[in-house]
Amino acid sequence: MKLEINNLSKQYSNGVRALTDVSLTIDKGMFGLLGPNGAGKSTLMRILATLQDADSGSAILGGTDVLNNKDEVRKVLGYLPQEFGVYPRTSAIDLLDHLALLKGFGNTKERKEMVNYLLNKVNLFEIRKKAVGSYSGGMRQRFGIAQCLIGNPKLVIVDEPTAGLDPGERNRFYNILSEIGENIIVILSTHIVQDVRELCTQMAILDKGKVLFSGNTDDALQQIKGKVWERKVDKAELSHFQNEYKIISSKLVGGKPLIHAFSDKDLNNGFTKAEENLEDVFFVKLNELA
């Protein structure tokens, strides 16, 4: 199973161009879609999830036309949007059973077995009779994954799934995503670089509706290897360094800015070579330095 996206474009009625000729090839496994807020990630996800129409281009899942055969796509699709609404007073087991019924699982015995299996898979079976509205953010996200998996989907799309989760819940979520990504296509849309590094071998960086990079995460790191430099500076010096060097990021460490600069040549003036990471790739591509 493969998802082929070719020259996908979308412009809203207010003139905002959300996507411009987006082309991606996504194979089975975890695929990370990185980009800042407003990059067009959610628009792309909603189009692939058959919730929005594109202006032009194509998307083919296996042999199915995603844009023109939405009912067939929905049979093999699992989708967890950025804002996942629930009926707050309904128990997890009843809500999941209802969603499975809506998805066409009319056999009561078969549906019950599937619901119990999914609740076990996301570690919610012991609290299955509690109202979903009483769940923590992480528990609700795990419930969201359970509803994604109704009917053994071939494509799962999750949009900004770990925002606001504590480290423990994030790790549990990582483990679930990694497991389901072994056999199907899972697209993880996020602005959190760590999510992609932890989970994905393939990725794309999107900004202002355009693809800046698409490929293997290791290949992305190789492109900037030996070209990222770092040093601590005083806060008063920061603007000077930003004017003099190609600064790709700055963060406070111990009360002082730690800056990362991009350069093909050795930098002196107190800089040392940094161990490149995916966050550096992200900022380099956003600034079109490589």
DSSP string, 148-159: HTTT--SEEEEE
Q: So what's the pLDDT on residue 192? A: 82
Q: So what's the pLDDT on residue 86? A: 67
In angstroms, the first-to-last Cα distance of the chain is 32
Q: So what's the pLDDT on residue 230? A: 93
What are the average pLDDT values for consecutive 10-residue runs of the chain, which has 290 residues? Answer: 95 93 95 90 94 96 94 91 77 93 90 94 92 88 89 90 79 84 90 85 93 92 92 91 91 91 89 90 80
Q: So what's the pLDDT on residue 44? A: 95
Q: So what's the pLDDT on residue 129? A: 94
Q: Nearest CA to 274 among 239, 243, 244, 249?
A: 249
Q: So what's the pLDDT on residue 131? A: 93
Q: So what's the pLDDT on residue 81? A: 83
Q: So what's the pLDDT on residue 193? A: 87
Tokens of 36: 């800042």
Contacts of 245 (CB under 8 A, 6+ apart): 259, 261, 263, 267
Q: So what's the pLDDT on residue 258? A: 94
Which spans in the chain are helix H? Answer: 41-48, 70-75, 92-102, 108-121, 137-148, 167-180, 193-199, 217-224, 238-244, 278-286
Tokens of 238: 């920061």
